[in-house]
Amino acid sequence: MKKAINEKISELNEKVEWFYGEDFKLEDAGEKYKEATKLAKEIEKDLESLKNEIKIIEEDFSKE
C-alpha cells in the first residue's frame, strides 16, 4: 500500500530527529542519511506529481 505524502513527511521528520536524539551513533549516520535522502526524493516526486494533477484539473475547469 502506498503511503500518503503526510505519512512520508512524518517518517522523514522521525529520521531527521534521530540525528539529534540520544540513539545517534556515528557508525549508523551514513545509512540513516541515505534513507532520509531517499525518502525526501520520494516526497519531492509525489509533490511534483500532485502539482501536475492540480494543473490538469485547473485547465479542465478553465475550459468550461
61 falls in which pLDDT band (50, 70, 90)? confident
**What is the model's pLDDT at position 45?**
96
Checking if the pLDDT of 64 tops 70, the result is no
Q: For residue 52, give the amino acid letter.
A: N
Checking if the pLDDT of 42 tops 70, the result is yes
pTM of this structure: 0.79
Residue 32, CA atoms < 13 Å, CB-side half-sphere:
18
CB–CB of 32/19 below 8 Å?
yes
Please, what is the end-to-end C-alpha distance for the chain in angstroms?
35
Checking if the pLDDT of 29 tops 70, the result is yes
Supply the DSSP string of 23-61, one letter for each residue: T--HHHHHHHHHHHHHHHHHHHHHHHHHHHHHHHHHHHH
